[in-house]
Amino acid sequence: MRLITLCVAISLVSTIADASSKKIICYFGSWSVYRPGNGQFDINGIDPTLCTHLIYSFVGVEGNDIKILDSWSDLPRNLDGFGKFVSLRKKNPSLKIMIAVGGWNAGSVPFSKMASNQAQREAFAKNAVKFLEQYQFDGLDIDWEYPAQRGGVKADVKNFVKLAAALKKAFAPHGYILSTAVAAPESSVSQSYDIIGMSQYFDFINLMEYDFHGYWDGHTGMNAPLFASSSDSGNELKLNIEASVNYWVKNGAPREKLILGIPTYGKSFTLSNPRNKGVGAPSNVKGTAGPYTREPGILGYNEICEIFKAGGWKIYQDNERGVPYAVKGNQWVSFDDIPAIKAKAEFIKQERLGGAMIWSIETDDFKGICGEKYPILKALNSVLGSEISKNSNLRVWKKKQNKFTTSTPTTTSFVEDLPETLKESDRSSGNGECTFVGQFIINPSNCGFFVCDHDGIGGFRKIPGACPAGLCFNPTYQRCDWK
């Protein structure tokens, strides 16, 4: 009994320490300073208390050196993006300011050529140190998309590890951080990465857990599903966050180095037949471009919340995949609402990962047009960075029996697990409708319950929960109880 008690105590201490050390990595797309209207982003408007790391995107690779891609935006003589970015440390001295090299538009070939021999790798590492010193960044994020793909060669897999080793060696005397952004699903990871080899050199690894589906599929699909659906089969079972994280861990990635990427944008489609509008509905055309991102097939969260406010959209919750989608006429969009963001944050805690990453900060609702500023970032912080999340077992979302359920010990009262401010007020309503976040409502159809949360557009959604076998939800005592 003493051994069991000791193990439980150690586990609790470990869990609290783990929660307090979660990273929240915020990428910034520097081109957003040119967007029109409410989409135009001002670096000075970043709240530096909401991120542990800020990453400026992007600079490029030119030979063995780092190339500035937009001198007008980045350098002091004009918009001074670099200077404004690093000056955010004044508001939060513990904030780490980094810069990303590469990105999708950079392709794979420049990295492949540079990393192909030791002399070039070492020259690049030396030049990277000079760059970080000159512009006062705390580290470098390698966004090579992707080794051994898109014009790269098979040797890229090993050369990527060697490049990381050269950079780590050069960075060590200066204390610079080295991270990387990587593909998430097995289909791409298996081609590009020696997971064990690379993991020893990177301080953290940003999993790009989005773009699982798009117009290229020929049908609608979720941008960033948390889980597979019961209707999925074949390779589709691997195109979700749970499966991809499991693949990285199974193949040797340390959990504490894995940072779960969360999109602040949705993937949009134009339906072939507006009457056929579910997941998997025929579509091979991108959705209409938004007013700020101005890219067909993509809608920023800030654009989504604004067009929802204008009306006409119907939102559907997919409780199996853990993310919603919305339809208006022939337009279809998969996106992450606030409850989905929180569920992913709880998944991070449940899987003992290193933290969360967002791509990218400038498509959060940074101006607060639809409510509070930075709702996505604040939702992540509410779970990963607050005392409330450390003490609450109610918010651990798992997939059981093809639906979200809450993780609740059969001998523990719901009320005991809630923060003090919620214990006395959170009771089930008489009419079965939500009136506040955190409210419990009995589900008479299955002996379970619902937990009320924001729906991301100013209202509420009811998230279903199930009691363990043989128990039913007791609204009087706010817990699962014997029948």
Catalytic residues: 145
Q: For the stretch 373-397, what's the b/e string if a residue is b when 16 or more beta carbons lie within 10 angstroms of its beta carbon?
A: bbbbbbbbbbbbbeebbbebebbbb
- Which among 60, 58, 56, 57 has a CA at the least distance from the CA of 85? 56
Residue 332 amino acid letter: W
Structure tokens at 96: 């780490």
- How far apart are alpha carbons 228 and 230 in whole angstroms? 7
Q: Quote the CA–CA distance of 266 and 325 in Å, as a whole number.
A: 9
Cβ atoms within 10 Å, residue 223: 23
| Three-point CA angle 377, 378, 381, nearest 5° | 90
Which tokens in the block code for residue 112? 């492949």
* Separation of alpha carbons 278 and 255, rounded Å: 35
What does the block give as tokens for 223? 């941008």
Measured at the CA of 55, the angle between CA 53 and CA 56, to 5 degrees, comes to 150
Burial 294-315 (b: 16+ CB within 10 A, else e): eebbbbbbbbbbbbbeeeebeb
Torsion on CA atoms 358, 69, 181, 389, rounded to nearest 10 = -20
DSSP-based three-state secondary structure for 306: helix
SS3 of residue 440 by DSSP = strand
Distance from chain centroid for Cα 223: 12
Q: Are 415 and 479 in contact (CB under 8 A)?
A: yes
Q: Is 234 exposed, middle or buried (0-12, 13-18, 19+ CB in 10 A)?
A: exposed
Give the separation between CA 354 and CA 422, rounded to whole angstroms. Answer: 28
Say how far residue 85 (Cα) sits from the centre of its chain. Answer: 22
DSSP bridge partners of 94: none
